[in-house]
Amino acid sequence: MRGQGKNLKDLPLNRDWTLFLDRDGVINKKIENDYVRNWSQFEFIEGVIEALKILRNIFGKIIIVTNQRGIGRGLMTENDLHEIHKNMLKVFELNGIHIDRIYYCPHDYEKESCDCRKPNIGLALKAKEEFPEINFRKSITVGDSLSDMEFGKSLGMLTVYINQDCSNTPNIADFCFTSLYEFAKYLENLEKIRRCQLLASMD
């Protein structure tokens, strides 16, 4: 883990907090210079299932926000994306993981103008409309691109950058972890320490 002047230990994380997750590069492996167009091409990143089990016990809401430009480019359809997400959520459900909602942007920015393609904040505003209790100041966004970090910062969220090499972390990112699993295990260990400290203070 690498931080940019902040410390996750200082965060009063509880069920009031919301976790916004990018998909490609965080949950599933990216296909370089292409898109995950169907379920047969979808591959979970190692440790993601375990990570989401941990994170589900920490955050009140988990929301996936994902750019899917392949639709706008005509390389896949929205039905293809829905099929991918239906199967992904089925795997999560079989592992006891609930995802509150998935929001996606289907547009090709070279041909269309929209407010939903990250770093624009349209997807987050949709989430806020559907879940008014979301507080962006009590939210963390996790992604593997600069646009994910800009998306989070525009809303006042804390930002977690996922990259195998944290020496190249964008300045706008608050923290860097090599994987969602590493991030989840770090938070889990913090929770264990806090519980121990609480028990010790009661003795």
Catalytic entry in 10, 16, 22, 203: 22
Catalytic entry in 24, 80, 148, 174: 24
SS3 155: coil
Nearest to 29 by CA among 162, 198, 176: 162
Cβ contacts of 159 within 8 Å, gap of 6 or more: 140, 141, 142, 143, 148, 149, 152, 153, 172, 173, 174, 175
- Establish whether 22 is a catalytic residue: yes
Structure tokens at 161: 């950058």
- Establish whether 115 is a catalytic residue: no
SS3 183: helix
Cβ contacts of 67 within 8 Å, gap of 6 or more: 104, 105, 117, 118, 147
Residues 50, 180: Cα–Cα separation, whole Å: 9
Structure tokens at 5: 């002047």
| Length of the chain in terms of residues written | 203
Residues 1, 182: Cα–Cα separation, whole Å: 8
Task: Point out the residues that are catalytic.
Answer: 22, 24
